[in-house]
Amino acid sequence: DQQVKQNSPSLSVQEGRISILNCDYTNSMFDYFLWYKKYPAEGPTFLISISSIKDKNEDGRFTVFLNKSAKHLSLHIVPSQPGDSAVYFCAASGSNTGKLIFGQGTTLQVKP
């Protein structure tokens, strides 16, 4: 059973526009959510996180929104840049363990 799901395998947007990446989860015990960015043949790098007590967290061009009732989170990138082209993973963790459960990833392509 997939506890964290990213249902869109890929997304293509024009440079300067908004990119919205979505993530759904099933385990109500998750209380921290993180987004990672990954280039091919490299390890993921941390982007931004949000605690379940918040509904929004912003860091520069990146904003994460959390809707606990819908068990849904999204990552907004504004404005999108060609260098943002990568695979984006959402991840979740519960309060009793630090282990992260990852989604399948969404490949973002930002076209110049």
Partner 1 sequence: DGGITQSPKYLFRKEGQNVTLSCEQNLNHDAMYWYRQDPGQGLRLIYYSQIVNDFQKGDIAEGYSVSREKKESFPLTVTSAQKNPTAFYLCASSIFGQGAEAFFGQGTRLTVV
| Size of site (CB under 8 A) for partner 1 | 27
65 is a site residue for partner 1 (CB under 8 A): no
Q: Which lies closer to partner 1 via its Cβ, residue 49 or residue 79? A: 49
The answer to whether 95 contacts partner 1 (rule: CB under 8 A) is yes
Cα of 106 vs its chain's centroid, Å: 9
Q: 91: burial class by Cβ within 10 Å (0-12, 13-18, 19+)? A: buried
Residues 27-56 that bind partner 1 (CB under 8 A): 31-32, 34, 36, 41-46, 49, 51
How far is Cα 58 from Cα 48, in angstroms, rounded to an integer? 8
Residues in contact with 54: Cβ distance below 8 Å, sequence separation at least 6, in sequence order? 66
The reply to whether 69 sits near partner 1 by the rule CB under 8 A is no
Q: Is 109 helix (H, G, I), strand (E, B) or coil?
A: strand
Shortest Å distance, C-beta 19 to partner 1: 19
List contacts with partner 1 (CB under 8 A): 6, 9, 31-32, 34, 36, 41-46, 49, 51, 89, 91, 93, 95, 97-105
